[in-house]
Amino acid sequence: MTIAAAEKSPILEVHGVVKRLGGVDILKGINFTVAEGSVVAIIGASGSGKSTLLRCLNMLIVPDDGEIVWKGQRVGWVQKGSTWVRQKEKELLGYRTQVGMVFQSFNLFPQMTALENIIEAPMTVLGRKRSEIEEEAHALLRKVRLSHRVKAYPHQMSGGEQQRVAIARALAMKPKAMLFDEVTSALDPELKGEVLTVMRELAAEGMTMILVSHEMGFVRHVADEVLFMHQGIVKERGNPSDVLVNPASAELQAFLQRVTD
């Protein structure tokens, strides 16, 4: 697919998404689209709503207003006659299997080995055969350079290793897009690199990625578009080489100064 064609048919559309939590407007009407195979980076100070927005995309948090549209279909709502009916948690599970997510705190299953973490959801959710998925899991562990850690438990691995297992676990569901929520923020500087390398390779393979990140170097080199969030709105957006180099707003200028210091 050419880039022009991809832009005509976004895989994910976000229209006017609003979220209030405890009387506070966290998101005040967010709009953006994600073309298939592109990388969108969401940046902003803590409390700007980045993580909430990311969770709205796979309905871990249900927006109060607005629409998330995945491949042309509204997420979380079904039309019955002329009225829209909200889907139950159970009915959202199918959608979630198509969108992988990786978290700041890794969230691996502590009682399972690296391999078991990866094969768990494909086996129990997708109902795939253990022998079949194990082969794929080994390939995924090779991809994230952890072939030697197949039988390691999370507590025996470094943060960087755990996070790479978490990426492999999400990929095992064969998602069409991946969400990354500050996945290197909890890592020591020397461990960030190994995770970012894996992510860079994924982007190069054409994976659609939406990431919340403070790694400005990574965002500049890998993202196709960057969204700067400030107090629940998208304050600035565009190509990272423009937006990050020539920030228009005082807020983004101040933010960039803080994160690059």
Partner 1 sequence: MDVFIAQFPRFLDATWLTIWMFVLVTTVSTLIGATLAVLAEWAGKPVSLPLSVYSWVFRGLPELIVLLGCYLALPAIGLDLGSVGSAILGFTLVGIAFQLEIFRAGLNAVDKRILEATRALGMSWWLTMRRVVLPQVIRIAMPAWATFLAGNVKIFAVASAVAVTEVMAVTRQAIAVSDQPFFLIMVAAGIYAAIASILMVLEAILSRRFSTRYGLGLRR
Instruction: Based on the shown chain and the rule CB under 8 A, indicate whether residue 89 belongs to the binding site for partner 1.
Output: yes
Q: How many residues does the chain have?
A: 261
Q: Supply the minimum distance, in Å, between the C-beta of residue 99 and partner 1.
A: 8
b/e sequence 14-40, b meaning 16+ C-beta within 10 Å: beebbbeeeeeebbeebebbbbbbbbb
Instruction: Based on the shown chain and the rule CB under 8 A, indicate whether residue 174 belongs to the binding site for partner 1.
Output: no
φ/ψ of 153, rounded to 5, equals -85, 155
Residue span 50-69 as binding mask against partner 1, x where in contact by CB under 8 A, dash where not: -----x--x-x---------
Q: Supply the minimum distance, in Å, between the C-beta of residue 102 and partner 1.
A: 9
Instruction: Based on the shown chain and the rule CB under 8 A, indicate whether residue 103 belongs to the binding site for partner 1.
Output: yes
Residue type, 65: D
Instruction: Based on the shown chain and the rule CB under 8 A, indicate whether residue 80 belongs to the binding site for partner 1.
Output: no
Residue span 111-150 as binding mask against partner 1, x where in contact by CB under 8 A, dash where not: x--------xx--xx-------------------------
φ/ψ of 22, rounded to 5, equals 55, 45
Q: Binding partner 1 by CB under 8 A: which of 26, 40, 75, 170? A: 170
Instruction: Based on the shown chain and the rule CB under 8 A, indicate whether residue 109 belongs to the binding site for partner 1.
Output: yes
Residue type, 177: A
CA angle 110, 52, 49 (to 5 degrees): 130
Instruction: Based on the shown chain and the rule CB under 8 A, indicate whether residue 246 belongs to the binding site for partner 1.
Output: no
Question: What is the C-alpha to C-alpha distance for residues 19 and 48, in angstroms, rounded to an integer?
Answer: 12
Question: What is the C-alpha to C-alpha distance for residues 213 and 35, in angstroms, rounded to an integer?
Answer: 19
Which residues of this chain interact with partner 1, rule CB under 8 A? 55, 58, 60, 89-90, 93-94, 96-97, 99-101, 103, 105, 107-111, 120-121, 124-125, 153, 155-156, 166, 169-170, 173, 179
